[in-house]
Homo-oligomer: A and B are copies of this chain.
Amino acid sequence: MPHDIRILTEADLRGLLTLDLALVDVIERAFAALAGGQVVMPPILSMDLPAVNGEVDVKTAWIPGFDGFAIKVSPGFFDNPSLGLPSLNGLMLQFSATTGLAEAVFLDNGFLTDMRTAAAGAVAARHLAPRQVQTAAVFGTGAQARLQMQAAYLVRPFERLLVHGRDLARARACADDLAAALGVRAEAVEDPAAMVAQAQLVVTTTLARVPILRAEWLHPGLHVTAMGSDQTGKTEIAPEALARADLYVCDRVSQCEVSGELEAALAAGAWARGTPPELGQIIVGSHPGRVDEDAVTICDLTGTGVQDTAIATHVLSLAGVAGVTVRS
């Protein structure tokens, strides 16, 4: 039986979707559902292609109460830059949660992933950062560094923003962009220890494979969100920092154990506190989360299929008549 399928390009999606509190709320709802136990989220299908220096990941999750579910395909082909092409691209498919019929194809080139990742940072900050954040800081100077700070500002409207990166000029450009976008004071900082010392909220957004944030830099009243590590071998936070913090929280324990900060801490024998709580448990109140303003908290975001389903369902609800409709 023919039915209509909507095709939306990256340009269409950028016209529809804003990084705002409505998006943060939808992503929060997805994490809350994850704590409820009725989400179906199979392990990631991962295909390594050493012959072409590539990999392909497929993620999906079905969330009770959501109209649809997404299947996201994320290819990474690391010889592409030599051809003038991006290493990463990707798209999402949206299906009806009750009939399984395909409803939409989002040719987003990773845009929706960027946005749902930033929104997860805001969810983590909302539930784990100190109530008062005067200064926020970010490691990294790319698109996700900008988005994470814009997302954090929605829930913790800080006055001052610091940026650290390996390239000071790029850090300055990132700070300038964010100062303009948010109307806050923003500056690049060469010394990462000095930057962390001044901040109440730190977000790490790098591809680091050796830690960039040391355990001895942790100080009372600090929250750190580490969103860079999403694969075995990546790590941004020193293993000892996880145990030194008052609270370490995973987006999904089973993923953090193999591809997040917990992986390196377990490998280093630096974690002996058993199973950490998940962000969803703190959202629904089954774990207390931050207990006072002086606590030190760390949230580890590896990226989950529920976020994809949540943002895909959200953007389709906003789509109106945008895009191309194909009858199939």
Interface stretch, picked from A46-54, A158-166, A241-249, A263-271, is: A46-54
Q: Identify A98's interface contact among B43, B71, B77, B95, CB under 8 A.
A: B77
In the assembly, what is the distance between CA of A105 and CA of B71, in Å? Answer: 14
Interface residues of A in 22-47 (CB under 8 A from B): 38, 40, 42-43, 45-47
Interface residues of A in 68-91 (CB under 8 A from B): 69, 71, 73, 75-77, 80, 83-86, 89, 91
Verify A77–B100 contact, CB threshold 8 A.
yes
Verify A91–B93 contact, CB threshold 8 A.
yes
Closest to A38 in B: B51
Q: Does A184 contact B (CB under 8 A)?
A: no
Verify A73–B91 contact, CB threshold 8 A.
no
Verify B89–A60 contact, CB threshold 8 A.
no
Verify A73–B93 contact, CB threshold 8 A.
yes
Closest to A9 in B: B328
Verify A95–B56 contact, CB threshold 8 A.
yes
Verify A48–B52 contact, CB threshold 8 A.
no
In the bound complex, residues from chain B placing their C-beta under 8 Å from that of A105 are 7, 105
Known A-B contacts A91-B93, A100-B80; A40 and B48 likewise in contact (beta carbons under 8 Å):
yes
Closest to A109 in B: B328
Verify B7–A54 contact, CB threshold 8 A.
no
Q: Does A173 contact B (CB under 8 A)?
A: no
Q: Identify A40's interface contact among B9, B49, B69, CB under 8 A.
A: B49
Verify B45–A60 contact, CB threshold 8 A.
yes
Q: Identify A85's interface contact among B1, B91, B97, CB under 8 A.
A: B1
Count of A interface residues, CB-CB < 8 Å: 53
Q: Does A326 contact B (CB under 8 A)?
A: yes
Report the minimum CB–CB distance from A328 to chain B (whole Å). Answer: 4
Verify A84–B1 contact, CB threshold 8 A.
yes
In the assembly, what is the distance between CA of A255 and CA of B225, in Å? Answer: 41
Q: Identify A101's interface contact among B49, B58, B85, B102, CB under 8 A.
A: B85
Q: Does A220 contact B (CB under 8 A)?
A: no
Verify A10–B328 contact, CB threshold 8 A.
yes
In the bound complex, residues from chain B placing their C-beta under 8 Å from that of A328 are 9-11, 91, 107-109
Known A-B contacts A45-B58, A326-B324; A98 and B52 likewise in contact (beta carbons under 8 Å):
yes
Report the minimum CB–CB distance from A87 to chain B (whole Å). Answer: 9
In the bound complex, residues from chain B placing their C-beta under 8 Å from that of A76 are 100
Q: List A residues at the B interface (Cβ < 8 Å).
A: 1-2, 5, 7, 9-11, 38, 40, 42-43, 45-49, 51-52, 54, 56, 58, 60, 62, 64, 69, 71, 73, 75-77, 80, 83-86, 89, 91, 93, 95, 97-102, 105, 107-109, 324, 326-328
Apart from A54-B100, A71-B73, A102-B107: 20 A-B pairs, beta carbons within 8 A: A1-B86, A38-B51, A43-B45, A47-B60, A49-B62, A52-B97, A56-B69, A58-B71, A73-B93, A73-B95, A75-B95, A77-B98, A77-B100, A83-B99, A89-B101, A89-B102, A91-B93, A91-B328, A105-B105, A324-B324
